[in-house]
Structures are given as structure tokens and as C-alpha cells.
Amino acid sequence: MVHALKEAWRVLAPRGVMIDLRPLCLAASVDILFNEQKEFAGMADMSPDIDNEIAADQAINIMLSEGFYQDLSVDRFEIAYYWDTVRGMMADMRNRWKGDVIIEESVIRRAYELFRKHRGRKKVRFMLQEKLSKYEKQA
């Protein structure tokens, strides 16, 4: 990972900015939205990707300590993903986040129950925490 950050440094313009945007390995909520309301189905476990998060943080810290970059800012924010059905969410989780997210069977069951319970237009929402860091290239 340090090699990739050195390559990014090499191709950046002087005082150019490198952006590090990634999800944090914190629990993420699964909600059912209906009629401008929401019901909580449970939490998803984002920790399976923790080794990659730690490695990325270590690589950034090495690059900062060696003077390649200067830390400009770090922000955290929530981002939401939406699906029309619980089945759609589960299919996307299997394809996009395979191995990175664990949703317990009890949370999936609860999401299905809540989805069936409410009438009208419904959505499944998955809320997770993202980290946005900016680093400036040093000469």
C-alpha cells in the first residue's frame, strides 16, 4: 500500500491533493423506510474489512512521517444506500460487499418482517460511516 501512495505522490502536481475516501469498519444500520418514517431492522457488521482499514491507516502514517504528504483534513460522514426490496439489498451485498459486511440472519428476518408490514412505497436503507481525508503533496 505504501508503494501505491508513493506512486500517487510521484504523479501528483506540486502541492497537489490526494483524497482518501473509504468506509469505516463500524456497525451500519439497516432500516425500512415507509411513508416518510423509518423502522430499525438491526445493525450490519462492517468489521471483516478491518485489516484493510488498519493497513491503509498505517501506510498513510508512514507517508506522513516520511514527509511525502501533509495532512490537510479528515472528515467523517454518513452515506446511505437504498434498495427497493430486501432481496435487492441482499443480492447487492453478495455481489458488491462480499466478505466485507455481515448481516445476521435475525436482522435479515426483521427487515423482511418490517417490509411486509408496511403498505405503500417502501425502501431499504443501509447507513454507513465514511472517512474523507485530504493530503497535500510535499516537495
What integer best gives the mean pLDDT of the chain? 95
99 pLDDT higher than 90: no
How would residue 34 be classed by pLDDT, with cut points 50, 70 and 90? very high
The tally of domains found in the chain comes to 1
Task: Provide the whole-model pTM.
Answer: 0.84
26 pLDDT higher than 90: yes
DSSP for the chain, please give it.
Answer: -HHHHHHHHHHSPTT-EEEEEEE-SS-EEEEEEETTEEEEEEEEB-GGGHHHHHHHHHHHHHHHHTTSEEEEEEEEEEEEEEESSHHHHHHHHHHHSTTT-B--HHHHHHHHHHHHH--SSEEEEEEEEEEEEEEEEP-
Cell numbers found for residue 105: 440472519
Domain that holds residue 126: 2-137
- The per-residue pLDDT for range 53-85, each reduced to its tens digit, is 999 999 999 999 999 999 999 999 999 999 999
